[in-house]
Amino acid sequence: MTDTLKRFIAFLLVAIFVGGCSTNVERGGATQVQPTSVSETALSRKFELRLINSQGTHLEYFVREPRRATRPLPAVFILAGVETGRESLDLIDDRDDLLLVSMNYPRREELALSGLGLVLAPYVLRRMAFDSLEGGTLALDYLSRRTDVDQKRIILLGVSFGSPIIVALGARDPRADAVVLIYGGGDLGGSARTNLREKPWWVPGWIIGPAVRTFLGEFEPLAHVEKIAPRYFLMVSSRQDEMFPPSSALALYGRARDPKKLIWYETGHLDLFDRQLIRRLTRDVVADLRTVGFLH
């Protein structure tokens, strides 16, 4: 991960909160737009899906489903890094025993980190976070209506920046049967402060902690992770992660209630395009979820 991207994500974590947070995220009945086929393999087919939120905005999703399913299957909703959406499904090996849904972050095209765009970025990022939270609810609406989805095996998967939103979604929506975080953590203010301390940046360090404490809102994982129990909570973290350091991961894991598990890796912050690492992560997560009964 480049230094510029690290600083951008740290800025993003702060900006969401500085914009202020409301606990009222309306749940709109999702209106589905006709799916568009993207690709097919011997095992699965992938298509683009659009759902309309409560503000009438079209949210973009990508679904990969088995070509042939003889029984209701587990389903996973994935919210990964800001740069991924469609691509996150391509990073997972093709399989016919799982239904996968990913989402493009709303309003990402409105982001600009120069000139006037930089001034407006906190407001754009704030709405991006809230729209993503509602988008996760709409994804669960969609999955709960599918007769080929095992309604007792719906899993939320948050990666990196997606992890705080996934924790908030899992805490507030009981339709999620398990929550998995990959390279995430709690104490977002502390994580942002750590990242900004490493490189020169225009945000003064002294303002970060007070800003996050003042505007915690919906997306501080430490405030919500306890509500995931008694559903299963799995974390995969790295002792070398510079974005969410071990102290951040341990703080969140310590706040979570049983049943829970923490798996440690020894890499830097996750590179979503490191296919070898993604395959290893996928293999370990699938094995663990199969052991505890969430995957067949």
Q: The domain that contains 23 carries what CATH number?
A: 3.40.50.1820
249 lies in some domain: yes
Residue 211: band (very low, low, confident or very high) from pLDDT cuts 50, 70, 90: low
Cα distance between residue 152 and residue 142, in whole Å: 15
Other C-beta atoms closer than 10 Å to the C-beta of 182 total 27
Residue 245 domain-assigned (yes or no): yes
Is 41 a domain residue? yes
Report the pLDDT value the prediction gives residue 117, as an integer from 0 to 100.
52
Higher pLDDT, 37 or 85: 37
Mean pLDDT over 63-87 rounds to 86
The Cα-based distances of 77 to 8, 29, 143, 146, 250 in angstroms read 25, 18, 9, 14, 24
Is residue 202 a part of any domain in this protein? yes
For residue 296, being part of any structural domain is answered with: no
Judge whether residue 200 has pLDDT over 80.
Answer: no
Task: Provide the pLDDT for residue 3.
Answer: 53
CB 104 within 8 A of CB 48: no
* Distance from C-alpha of 102 to C-alpha of 65, rounded to nearest angstrom: 12
Question: What pLDDT sits at residue 37?
Answer: 84
Nearest to 135 by CA among 216, 58, 246: 58
The neighbour count for residue 14, using CB atoms within 10 Å, is 26
Q: What is the pLDDT of residue 20?
A: 38
For the chain, give the percent of residues with pLDDT over 90.
52
The answer to whether the CB of 187 falls within 8 A of the CB of 251 is yes
Give domain status of residue 271, yes or no.
Answer: yes
Predicted pLDDT at 112: 56
* Average pLDDT score over residue span 199-208: 57
Q: Which domain holds residue 224?
A: 3-291
Domain membership of residue 34 (yes or no) is: yes
Q: Tell me how far CA of residue 252 lies from CA of 12, 168, 257, in angstroms.
A: 20, 13, 10
- What's the number of domains the chain is made of? 1
